[in-house]
Chain A
Amino acid sequence: MRRVYMDHSATTPVRSEVAQLVTGYFTETFGNASSVHAYGREARKGVENAREQIASLIKAKPEEIFFTSGGTEADNMAIIGTVMANRDKGKHIITTQIEHHAVLDTCKYLEGQGFEVTYLPVDDYANIDIGQLKAAIREDTILISIMHVNNEVGTILPIKEIGQIAKEKNIFLHVDAVQSFGKIPIDVNEMNIDLLSASGHKIYAPKGIGCLYLRKGIKLSPLFFGGSQERKRRPGTENVPGIVGFGLSAELAGKEMEVEIIRLTGLRDKLINGILEKIPESQLNGNRTNRLPGHVNVSLRYIEGESLLLMLDMKGIAASSGSACTSGSLDPSHVLMAMGICHEVAHGSLRLTLGKISTEEDINYVLEVLPEIVEKLRSMSPLFNSMEIDNREECSTCTLTK
């Protein structure tokens, strides 16, 4: 059976060049980067080379990159570390309602510690209103944490404008760039970013490695204690194989970015157009153009996401959904809810994310299989073409655009 992987926003395969390099650091260049001997020095060289590769992708200085276990740790470290180190200056944090839980749950934790958090609402396209951001800034605001690209709907947020405001008001800006790092250009200076989180496994590096960019001169309280690694910001023996793999994948992502953006945008638009054309009562979630290349999120009315994913899986297609069943809670995706999409439509959301291994044949296959599956599930659905459609309150107030 044909297998099509369309869940690159969840994770990516490790690219072969990276896997090969990483293997060498498991078996041969295995030294502890803190050791004095040749084994240690070789490992250290790999780590520092990776630091340069990553820094150069976002126009940072190598000494501003701190390796972590991944995006979640980087988000925790950035937010908790900054506010704890600057709590004498204020206790207010601004973020958005559509952040990843690594940011949202960290903010919730900090609320319990006496900090105050403003969660900015978003519009139908998952974008914030700059005026609302300005209005939310208080005398005691110490940190703004806003994601670059939303993981669920792919919207690109206006980080440059946000950075300008943060700079004028002298507030630190943290950007969760897990979904954008290595995929679209980032310049921490031009965008006035003070802290930035990135993850390796979203860009063809292994899982368990990520980094925090921390602008030189910004105070940060560490989360961990117990060694001088990463200049005491993140103690613990360095994950050298992960780090060198992340470094190489970042370098390659930078080299291939321009071409890949064009290719993935083309495939994405073909997929979006095909779905909207072939499947009645389907809608695109998020903006048509202001979205990550390769990121598609649609809602297919009258059906539920988990059964859709199971049927796609039976046909070899791997995707994800924002339905409650797949979110592990009773409510569907907090992002779709924040965008004002009603429950019923959110339950029928489908995320298809493309990457390096995606081809035009993959798109054609999905466009061939998906309409049949939707039709089958709709034929089973009491919400679709029923003999007795109840005038349900939510459904009647629910249109395809909202």
Chain B
Amino acid sequence: MYTDKVMDHFSNPRNVGEIEKASGVGEVGNAKCGDIMRIYLDVEDNIIKDIKFKTFGCGAAIATSSMVTEMVKGKTIDEALEVTNKAVAKALGGLPPAKMHCSNLAADALHKAIEDYKKKLKSDSYN
């Protein structure tokens, strides 16, 4: 039911973990639905220097989280904002139709983390 690429990212997920003193953290989903994705960013000079994720969820949830981190690591914030859930699924060679909505939220988590980073940046500049 899953593509080889999904299974590869599921069984060898890239960039698992947390970042201490992250520039931004974003989380989507909830335990009730069975999916929670959290993304940690380390941004320097507008570039995503490091990115880590932690995910509670099905195979697709873990694979999309892993894929999104790989897609934006080293990219600028603006480039990262252009990555969509659909693009993540495409990069994985597609997801089963049932998974397209419930587990394909990794880009949303990334965007939330960027939002968090921008908010922090703003409040820092006031100080």
> A residues near B, CB below 8 A?
302-307, 310-311, 314, 323-325, 328, 330, 332, 343-344, 347, 379-383, 386-388, 392, 394-395
Whether A383 touches B36, Cβ cut-off 8 Å, given contacts A306-B59, A323-B58, is yes
Closest Cβ of chain A to B103, distance in Å, is 8
Pick 18 A–B contacts, CB within 8 A, sort by A: A306-B58, A307-B59, A307-B61, A307-B62, A310-B7, A311-B11, A323-B58, A324-B33, A325-B34, A343-B32, A344-B31, A347-B31, A380-B13, A381-B55, A382-B54, A387-B20, A388-B25, A394-B32
A379 to B57, CA, bound (A): 13
Residues of A within 8 A of B103 (CB): 325
Whether A323 touches B34, Cβ cut-off 8 Å, given contacts A310-B10, A330-B102, A387-B20, is yes
Residues of A within 8 A of B37 (CB): 382
Contact of B61 among A304, A344, A388 (CB under 8 A): A304
Closest Cβ of chain A to B23, distance in Å, is 15
| Residue on A nearest B98 in the bound complex, by CB | A328
> B residues near A, CB below 8 A?
2, 7, 10-11, 13, 16, 18, 20, 25, 27, 30-38, 54-59, 61-62, 98, 102-103
Q: Closest 8 CB pairs between A and B? A: A306-B58, A382-B54, A344-B31, A347-B34, A325-B58, A382-B38, A343-B32, A381-B56
Residues of A within 8 A of B20 (CB): 387
| A307 and B10 form a contact (CB under 8 A) | yes
| B35 and A379 form a contact (CB under 8 A) | no
Closest Cβ of chain B to A381, distance in Å, is 4
| B33 and A382 form a contact (CB under 8 A) | no
| A307 and B57 form a contact (CB under 8 A) | yes
A328 to B96, CA, bound (A): 12
Given A305-B58, A386-B18, 18 more contacts at CB 8 Å? Answer: A304-B35, A304-B56, A304-B58, A307-B62, A310-B2, A310-B59, A323-B58, A330-B102, A379-B16, A380-B16, A381-B56, A382-B27, A382-B37, A382-B55, A382-B56, A383-B36, A386-B54, A387-B20
| B18 and A343 form a contact (CB under 8 A) | no
Interface centre among A306, A311, A382 (most CB of B within 10 A): A382
| B34 and A381 form a contact (CB under 8 A) | no
A324 to B31, CA, bound (A): 11
Residues of A within 8 A of B25 (CB): 388
